[in-house]
C-alpha cells in the first residue's frame, strides 16, 4: 500500500506533466483552494477512493497509476508518459533511440 506522501507526489508529477497549476486543479476538482491541493500533494490530507479516482480522471491517468504499490513500475509509467509528451523530439527515429536508451538504463539499474 502506498503512503499519502507517495500518492501526493504522484498527483503532483501528473499535474505538472499537464502544466496546470494547483489552483486550476482545485477548480476542476470542485472549487477547492490551491492550499488544499498543496496539502494533498504533500501527503497532509487523506483521500477517499472516490476522490482519488476523480483526480486520476482529471489528470488523464488511471487510478492504478496513482495507487500502484510497485514504485518501479509506476515511476517508469510516469517517465514514459513524460518522454512521450516531450516536444524536444525531432523525429520518430530519434524518439525510438531515446526510448531504447531509457529502457537499457532501466534494465541496468534494476539488475
Cell of 96: 525510438
- The range of the structural domain enclosing residue 103 comes to 4-109
Number of domains in the chain: 1
Q: What's the CATH code of the domain at 86?
A: 1.10.260.40
Asked if residues 66 and 56 have their Cβ atoms less than 8 Å apart, the reply is yes
d(CA 69, CA 23): 28
Q: What is this structure's pTM?
A: 0.65
Of 70, 98, 77, 73, give the one whose Cα is nearest residue 13. Answer: 77
The list of the chain residues with pLDDT below 50 reads 89-90
pLDDT for the residue numbered 110: 57
75-90 confidence digits (pLDDT tens): 555 555 555 555 554 4
**SS3 at position 86:** coil
Amino acid at each position: 500500500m502506498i503512503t499519502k506522501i507517495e500518492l501526493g507526489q504522484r498527483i503532483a508529477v501528473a499535474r505538472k506533466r499537464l502544466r496546470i497549476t494547483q489552483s486550476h486543479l482545485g477548480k476542476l476538482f470542485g472549487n477547492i483552494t490551491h492550499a488544499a491541493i498543496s496539502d494533498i500533494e504533500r501527503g497532509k490530507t487523506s483521500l477517499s477512493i472516490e476522490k482519488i479516482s476523480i483526480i486520476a480522471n482529471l489528470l488523464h491517468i488511471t487510478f492504478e497509476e496513482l495507487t500502484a504499490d510497485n514504485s518501479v513500475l509506476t515511476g517508469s509509467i510516469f517517465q514514459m508518459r513524460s518522454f512521450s509528451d516531450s516536444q524536444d523530439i525531432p523525429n520518430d527515429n530519434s524518439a525510438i533511440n531515446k526510448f531504447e536508451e531509457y529502457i537499457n538504463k532501466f534494465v541496468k539499474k534494476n539488475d
